[in-house]
């Protein structure tokens, strides 16, 4: 008996159930189980038809991504290709009805499309999200999907990777019925109806009615490529998906499938696929934290109290309210509190306009947020998050206050971006309860939560913080307590190099263009303007080591601060902003940069985009290597998760450390050695990077060896 796939009989219909929690992925055992279940059902005289359904919350949600990882890194597959199974399903002499609920994605949809009919639960969704992993559907999805939904829709689904709801799937022809209530009963009834009508069993692979012709489809292929360029800038797989769909039209089914396999094989070994598959597993790996086991107590969280209703406090309040938590939001003064609540209301109004929330949904959320000027109710909060100014004295004063108010089990969190958690904790009698909860702006949107473990932070508090991240639909990454933790510590040298580049002759626009060309969501100067030049100024002031004598410091940022050019919020920063926050370069800033550089005797030259990337991104990588070696990040992969989810690093490059692996550590180390010779101490090569480069190893291998 295969424990993953079982067969029962309901009203003369063989019901094949896949039970491979949590998402019924096609891991080893499932395809084999399905194949033998089909053989048995076809031989069973007591079964007139076959229904396939998933146990638990979903139909097959996709392939086993471990298999993709093996393929990406050239290791032997543990599973046979699905081709034979799909042929067995499609060639079944008895009608096959696929009963779809939950997420029918990727390999799951490919299995479903091999059935003769599909019945979907109304809240089910279907999609081919393979492009998210840098690949195309590899089990005939690009061949069957256009046969069911037509070329245009198939291209849209495979290029964007976006799932479609059951109703759309019905309209497109992907499913034959959408049902409310009992899915299995409906699917069995559907199958019996097919039997009673003696309806012909049409194989999806035999259908051609929706395929059109290569000539008529030419504009669709062109539009597909344009769509790919728009929604997945620089990505290879969406274009290959269009090629595969073209093959579905131009070639007979079997040949089309062969072409799909070739294109799949080309995709899966690209740097992009490796990077995206790495990012997928990296995100799932962050929860593995030394000292936290299944037995570690996770404290329940229902009520969160936040101190400070500024940019961050407001966003955190929204994130918590969105997750159904009760929120107390405390401010120092009425005016600031009113401003904070108004901003929250305004942000929610935008969400309603964009169709993300209904007006009722927003009212429910607003009702969960309780604005206040005192600590009333803080004694029953499960988590307190301090989000006041980045100032150690103020933060310490607040922790000393909440020490006497918070319940014994309460998590005491600080949203500091850079400050020493242990020093903050030192003013309390329970430093084990103190943890950094570093959200990113806008906190209701950004997925990253950097969880900073102080030297005393207890396992329970850390585990509760990780569970809170999950509850807020965020990815929690544990960082050690060093100035700037993982993300901002790496940001400092990156930001400094960018400023040195402009002092040496580049413009902010050139630097930003090089960075966005590389794939960053935003250029660094645009980021500085968005986050606030005043905020960065405060951080520099708070971190004394940036004032070390003899160390080169940027010349212009402080001047911009003194001029009141705080960035977007004042309409001027590195750029000028119009009413729609559109940035234009400001000749005045360029002039300021040039005169400051002349005053400091800095030689001027021009820079290629490649040089700009080397100076900035290699600085990021070098600091990342240091953080890893010093143990402030548990894994190189954790650093990648931080940068992809909190700093706009492109997932298709895998994060800075995976990107370093792909560029080649030897190449990077050599360049850093040159920079070191030219610029001195700030470019001291990270010992770990230098060592791995000499040994011909990668950060990925470093992680694997220590796992
Ligand atoms: P902000 O200036 O927008 O908000 C701070 C708020 O705290 C103000 O509204 C102020 O009135 C309030 N406040 C000050 N003292 C208080 C007290 N004793 N009691 C109650 N409220 C008090 O600042 P922000 O950008 O929201 O930053 C808050 C914290 O989050 C800082 O530590 C900052 O470093 C960190 N942070 C900021 C960002 C960002 O992008 N802005 C990102 C991550 C972390």
DSSP 575-643: EEE-TT--EEE-HHHHHHHHHHHHHTT-------HHHHHHHHHHHHHHHHHHHHHTTSBS-HHHHHHHH
CATH of domain 303-483: 3.40.50.720
Q: Does the beta carbon of 311 sit less than 6 angstroms from any atom of ligand 1?
A: yes
Where does the pLDDT of residue 522 fall: very low under 50, low under 70, confident under 90, or very high at 90 and above? very high
For 155, phi then psi, to 5°, come to -60, -45
Q: Does the beta carbon of 528 sit less than 6 angstroms from any atom of ligand 1?
A: no
CATH of domain 5-259: 3.90.226.10
Determine the pLDDT at residue 551.
82
pLDDT in tens, 527-547: 999 989 998 888 787 776 556
Average pLDDT over residues 465-477: 98
Determine the pLDDT at residue 387.
97
Given the residues 69, 90, 110, 331, select the one marked as catalytic.
110
Closest Cα to atom 8 of ligand 1: 310
Atom from ligand 1 closest to the CA of residue 330: 20
Determine the pLDDT at residue 545.
56
Q: Are 486 and 638 in contact (CB under 8 A)?
A: yes
Q: Does the beta carbon of 535 sit less than 6 angstroms from any atom of ligand 1?
A: yes
Atom from ligand 1 closest to the CA of residue 315: 26
Q: Does the beta carbon of 387 sit less than 6 angstroms from any atom of ligand 1?
A: yes
Q: Does the beta carbon of 622 sit less than 6 angstroms from any atom of ligand 1?
A: no
Q: pLDDT above 70 covers what percent of the chain? A: 99
- Tell me which residue has tokens 């393979």: 130
Cα 539 to averaged position of ligand 1 atoms, centre (Å) = 12
Determine the pLDDT at residue 199.
85
Q: Does the beta carbon of 309 sit less than 6 angstroms from any atom of ligand 1?
A: yes
Overall pTM > 0.75: yes
pLDDT in tens, 494-517: 999 999 999 999 999 999 999 999
Q: Does the beta carbon of 371 sit less than 6 angstroms from any atom of ligand 1?
A: no
Q: Which helix (H) or strand (E) holds 505?
A: none
Q: For a pocket test of ligand 1, which of 387, 528, 530 has the largest count of ligand atoms closer than 8 A to its C-beta?
A: 387
Domain coordinates in residue numbering, the chain: 5-259, 303-483, 488-631+635-706
Cα 310 to averaged position of ligand 1 atoms, centre (Å) = 5
Average pLDDT over residues 253-267: 96
Q: Does the beta carbon of 344 sit less than 6 angstroms from any atom of ligand 1?
A: no
Burial (CB count within 10 angstroms: exposed 0-12, middle 13-18, buried 19+), residue 426: middle
Determine the pLDDT at residue 547.
61
Determine the pLDDT at residue 539.
79
CA dihedral 697, 703, 705, 707 (to 10 degrees): -170
Q: Is the pLDDT of residue 291 over 80?
A: yes
pLDDT in tens, 322-378: 999 999 999 999 999 999 999 999 999 999 999 999 999 999 999 999 999 999 999
Cα 477 to averaged position of ligand 1 atoms, centre (Å) = 22
Where does the pLDDT of residue 189 fall: very low under 50, low under 70, confident under 90, or very high at 90 and above? very high
Q: Are 50 and 95 in contact (CB under 8 A)?
A: yes
Determine the pLDDT at residue 80.
72
Given the residues 67, 69, 90, 130, select the one marked as catalytic.
130
Cα 164 to averaged position of ligand 1 atoms, centre (Å) = 40
Active site residue 364: no
Residue 577 bridge partners (DSSP): 583
Q: Does the beta carbon of 426 sit less than 6 angstroms from any atom of ligand 1?
A: no
Determine the pLDDT at residue 541.
78
Strands 575-577 and 583-585: antiparallel
pLDDT in tens, 136-149: 999 999 999 999 99
Determine the pLDDT at residue 323.
98
Determine the pLDDT at residue 328.
98
| Residue whose C-alpha is closest to residue 277's, from 662, 705, 633 | 662
If one counts every other C-beta atom within 10 angstroms of the C-beta of residue 653, the result is 25
Q: Are 423 and 373 in contact (CB under 8 A)?
A: no
Determine the pLDDT at residue 544.
62
For 435, phi then psi, to 5°, come to -150, 150
pLDDT in tens, 42-57: 999 999 999 999 999 9
Q: Is the pLDDT of residue 677 over 80?
A: yes
- Evaluated on CA atoms 144, 145, 149, 153, the torsion sign reads negative
Determine the pLDDT at residue 79.
72
Domain range 488-631+635-706, its CATH number among 3.40.50.10680, 1.20.1260.10, 1.10.1040.50, 2.60.120.10: 1.10.1040.50
Q: Give Cα 368 to chain centroid, integer Å.
A: 27
pLDDT in tens, 605-658: 999 999 999 999 999 999 999 999 999 999 999 999 999 999 999 999 999 999
Cα 226 to averaged position of ligand 1 atoms, centre (Å) = 43
pLDDT in tens, 378-415: 999 999 999 999 889 999 999 999 999 999 999 999 99
Cα 236 to averaged position of ligand 1 atoms, centre (Å) = 42
Where does the pLDDT of residue 240 fall: very low under 50, low under 70, confident under 90, or very high at 90 and above? very high
Higher pLDDT, 550 or 26: 26
313's CB contacts (< 8 A; 6+ apart) are: 306, 307, 329, 331, 340, 385, 387, 388, 415
Determine the pLDDT at residue 2.
79
Q: Give Cα 260 to chain centroid, integer Å.
A: 27
Atom from ligand 1 closest to the CA of residue 388: 7
Average of per-residue pLDDT values in the chain = 96
Active site residue 110: yes
For 322, phi then psi, to 5°, come to -60, -30
Please give the Cα distance from 563 to 552 (Å, whole number).
22
Please give the Cα distance from 363 to 701 (Å, whole number).
50
Please give the Cα distance from 676 to 685 (Å, whole number).
7
Closest Cα to atom 42 of ligand 1: 440
Q: pLDDT above 90 covers what percent of the chain? A: 93
């Amino acid at each position: 008996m295969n424990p993953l796939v079982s067969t029962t009989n309901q009203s003369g219909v063989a019901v094949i159930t896949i039970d491979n929690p949590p998402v019924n992925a096609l891991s080893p055992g499932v395809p084999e189980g399905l194949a033998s279940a089909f053989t048995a059902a076809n031989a069973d005289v007591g079964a007139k038809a076959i229904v396939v359904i998933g146990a638990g919350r979903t139909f097959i949600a996709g392939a086993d991504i471990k298999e993709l990882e093996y393929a990406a890194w050239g290791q032997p597959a543990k599973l046979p290709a699905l081709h034979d199974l799909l042929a067995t399903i499609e060639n079944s002499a008895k009608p096959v009805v696929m009963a779809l609920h939950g997420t029918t994605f990727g390999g799951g949809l490919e299995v479903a499309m091999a059935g003769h009919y599909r019945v979907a639960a109304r809240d089910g969704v279907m999609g081919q999200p393979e492009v998210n992993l840098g690949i195309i559907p590899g089990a005939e999805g690009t061949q069957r999907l256009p046969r069911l939904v037509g070329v245009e829709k198939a291209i849209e689904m495979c290029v964007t990777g976006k799932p479609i709801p059951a109703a759309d799937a019905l309209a497109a022809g992907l499913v034959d019925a959408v049902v409310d209530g009992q899915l299995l009963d409906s699917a069995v009834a559907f199958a019996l109806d097919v039997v009673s009508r003696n309806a012909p069993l049409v194989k999806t692979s035999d259908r051609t009615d929706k395929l059109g012709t290569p000539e008529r489809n030419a504009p669709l292929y062109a539009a597909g490529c344009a769509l790919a360029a728009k929604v997945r800038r620089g990505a290879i797989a969406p274009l290959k998906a269009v090629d595969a769909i073209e093959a579905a039209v131009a070639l007979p089914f079997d040949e089309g499938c062969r072409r799909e396999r070739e294109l799949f094989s080309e995709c899966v070994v690209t740097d992009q696929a490796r990077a995206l598959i790495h990012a997928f597993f990296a995100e799932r790996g962050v929860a593995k934290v030394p000292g936290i086991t299944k037995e570690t107590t996770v404290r329940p969280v229902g009520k969160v109290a936040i101190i400070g209703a500024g940019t961050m406090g407001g966003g955190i309040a929204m994130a918590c309210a969105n997750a159904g938590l009760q929120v107390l939001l405390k401010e120092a003064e009425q005016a600031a509190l009113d401003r904070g609540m108004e901003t929250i209301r305004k942000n929610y109004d935008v969400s309603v306009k964009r169709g993300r929330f209904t007006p009722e949904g927003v009212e429910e959320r607003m009702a969960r947020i309780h604005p206040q000027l005192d600590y009333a109710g803080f004694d029953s909060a499960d988590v307190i998050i301090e989000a006041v100014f980045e100032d150690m004295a103020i933060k310490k004063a607040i922790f000393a206050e909440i020490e006497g108010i918070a319940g014994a089990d309460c998590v005491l969190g600080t949203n500091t971006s850079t400050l020493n958690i242990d020093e903050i904790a030192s003013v309390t009698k329970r430093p084990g309860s103190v943890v950094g909860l570093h959200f990113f702006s806008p906190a209701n949107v950004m997925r990253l939560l950097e969880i900073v473990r102080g030297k005393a932070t207890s396992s329970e508090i850390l585990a509760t913080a990780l569970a809170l991240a999950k509850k807020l639909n965020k990815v929690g990454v544990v960082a050690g307590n060093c100035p700037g933790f993982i993300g901002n510590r790496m940001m400092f040298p990156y930001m400094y190099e960018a400023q040195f580049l402009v002092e040496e002759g580049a413009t902010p626009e050139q630097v930003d263009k090089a960075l966005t060309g590389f794939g960053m969501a935003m250029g660094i100067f645009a980021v500085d303007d968005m986050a606030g030049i005043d905020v960065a100024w405060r951080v520099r002031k708070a971190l004394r080591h940036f004032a070390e004598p003899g160390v080169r410091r940027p010349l212009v940022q402080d001047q911009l601060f003194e001029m009141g050019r705080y960035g977007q919020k004042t309409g001027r920063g590195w750029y000028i902003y119009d009413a729609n926050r559109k940035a234009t370069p400001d000749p005045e800033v360029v002039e300021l940069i040039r005169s400051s550089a002349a005053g400091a005797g800095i030689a001027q030259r021009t820079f290629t985009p490649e040089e700009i990337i080397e100076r900035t991104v290699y600085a990021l990588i070098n600091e990342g290597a240091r953080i890893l070696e010093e143990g402030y990040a548990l894994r190189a992969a954790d650093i990648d998760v931080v940068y992809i989810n909190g700093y706009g690093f492109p997932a298709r490059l895998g994060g800075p450390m995976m990107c370093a692996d792909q560029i080649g550590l030897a190449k990077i180390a050599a360049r850093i050695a040159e920079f070191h010779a030219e610029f001195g101490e700030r470019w001291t090569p990270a010992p770990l990077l230098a060592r791995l480069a000499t040994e011909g190893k990668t950060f990925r291998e470093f992680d694997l060896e220590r796992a």
